[in-house]
Structure 1
Amino acid sequence: MDVFEKLTILTDAAKYDVACTSSGVDRAGAAGGIGNAAACGICHSFSADGRCISLLKVLFTNACIYDCKYCLNRRSNDVRRAAFTPQELAQLTIEFYRRNYIEGLFLSSGVFKNPDYTCEQLIKTLSLLRNEYSFRGYIHVKAIPGADARLIEQLGLLADRMSINIELPTSEGLKQLAPDKTKQSILKPMGLIHSRIQENAHDIVQYRHAPKFAPAGHSTQMIVGATKDSDLHILRLTQALYRKYTLKRVFFSAYIPMQEHALLPSLDTKPPLLREHRLYQADWLLRFYGFDAEEILDDAHPDFNPVLDPKCNWAVNHLDQFPVEVNRAPYEMLLRVPGIGVKSAKRILIARKSGSLDFPDLKRIGVVLKRAQFFLTCRGKRMPQLKFSPETVVRTLSGQSFPQGISDVTQLSLFASDSPTKEDMQKCLSGQL
């Protein structure tokens, strides 16, 4: 099998891993080296099936000793297997970089022989890139659960960002669908990476030229929809991971049925894309808007509203806290107003130092008045000619009427015949709610 056949197999096998971040570190070019990295991020392009292709996103091998029931590369599945050598993959990465096809590398792997051997192969690949080819570009590598701590540390000194997939939200789910893995085997290296990042930050303060360990941080991914976990459980777990391990991102991947099994959703089950979308919206609220998981969902309402995004749903359920006066409200409360994002809230704080604001001013600042109008007053007055009732608020925020109930709600598709509006695209790209 030549290297391009391997590339075809192993890039296709990597497409289900969504934890493909590509920013967070500055590294200037150097004499005799190739490439650099910028903290502001990489400009992404997308293939026809929606994959990000700014990074060479590839598996070292799709051969695996594990038999995770949800995984395309499980050992019991009949697929073509391939594996690079460290030299092949390093040279391929450099050649692609020189041709401006890619701006960095995202490297993961199936577990072949054992976790330590797999980790050693990844280390050899990254060592060739960093030392032999003097590559200074961006590298994101997946840590291998069960690998020796010393190998994990070597990997972190070669990569910009590391990640380790938590896979499923519960230990019970892992026992059922991934019996070769345990919660401890995943959380232990996650804790190690977190500790090393913290220690490294302290070392760099004391010793300016100390080697950097995963300077762009670490992240994780979990599969949504393969098990019957509530959205509240997933959101609580996400919050706990951020707080305990200081993750940069938690990624969510809607489960795509690929085989018939009694423990998995049937093959005709549609991937829960809307649920995945709601989780990302709620994740944004946790990280940037000051919300706690228990504010977004609770035991009485453990799953997301399919009609309203989490922020709008919270606002509708807490109308007693609105309207807020835009000229006096604190920053934390402005962030809770639908239609006001982080940037527009900061602009409001700056603008109102020069004088009181009115609704036309808010529109110029970037506030989405279609949503914010129900929750704000300017100079003590509501939006002119505003018709206010809970039903009107829900209908306007959802963007449509649902005469037959919420069961008719469908997920917008990237390939829908109706083109998305500029506002839709901006919301998707910026995360503004």
Structure 2
Amino acid sequence: MKALIVAVVSKLPSGNKIPFHPVDERGNSLDVVVKESASFLSEEDFLKDEKFEVSKVVFLSSTLSFTLRDPPPDYASLEGQLKEKAKEFFGDTRSFVLPSSGVFVSNGVVHDHREGISNYELFLYLNLYKTLMEEVPDLVVLDVSLASSVESLASSRATELAVYDFASTKKKEVEVMQVASPPCFAENEEVKLYATKREVVRKVDLADFFTKEIKLVKQAGEKGINATGKSDIYGVGKAIQYGLPLALLYLVKEAKLENFVKEEELERKIRESIKVNKSEKLYLVEAGLEAHENSIYYYMGYHFIQNYKKLAEGEEFDVDRILEVSELMGEGRRVVINAELKRIKELASLLEKETEVSLDYLLKLGEMKVSDWLRKRKVEEETECEFDKVRMVSHAGFERRSTVVKVKEGKILLKYREECVEEIINGVKNLDKEES
């Protein structure tokens, strides 16, 4: 099994080796003693002994500037110096510096950081998601032993969302565990590591994240930082929530990812907004832009659309593809979807090969009397495109007047009538907005 250890650091350890009691993959505290300078390093040693393939990533708070004898006059240099400082304690490991907030005093100098905890959360989420996608672990261990209280809470949320995003993208079961050790000031005293939270992530309710209000930054009117594409994400969330798999495929297909604000772009703009003001008694680090706390949901939605783009290719969709995306939906919704697809498949058996008809035509054909069938009575079909929430939701999005059924090479294919696509997409994107 593969494990990824995530350490968040806002205070550096003493450097002395401490006897730690690590936890196992189920969160149980152990009698085993591992001597290391930091609890996450002891956990790494233990998991390696247990034959785990272990990698680790360290997230350093920018407030660690107070540990530097002569902190630099710009943020980019501060990042570089903190990474070098961390090597003295944790070795040559992958590390990221996160903008944060807090006030510290060192050698008569006040270190005042005003970079925003929302920036801390966003940067941790973005860089952890990339790390997860590279490492593809089965177990994620977040160690907050060296974090401040506010950064512990922020890192917990950011890690949880990054793991949810990763598990959804990879369709993978992942165990995530948060651990911490209590402070210890007695020399050679043994320290226990405790699991404070543990979750096995199997299926994530993405609709809950995608349908929240989404903003990228807290500052209003910042040019070029509007959450372009958030209506696509909202529509995807509503399609999942209401069990509309065909509409979901169209929403993903029509979303223009090139118009979204890329992770690197927002990260760069926030980083460029961070200014350092250094004087004899004050080291002030301040961000001109602060990410909105819901900005993470924007990138979860972006990753979802990116991940399902290939599945949504084409002009029509076979039943297997529709069933695949329906797995994202709740059990109750899947019951309705399966019932609708079963009915369509049964009625499609009445059609000749290489035939394309509206679902309204097919349903009326199925309801036709035997005498009318034998006389080949003409079926008059309705072909309106008006979006109706009740009809859409009650029939899992297979609305009879706008859905087309096609039989080709023994496969049943479904699509919306071309002239109805825009109406349906806009309808799903606006579901419940009038009511809120």
Larger radius of gyration: 2
Higher relative contact order (CA 8 A, sep 6+): 2
TM range, normalised to the smaller chain? under 0.3
TM (norm. structure 2) is 0.26
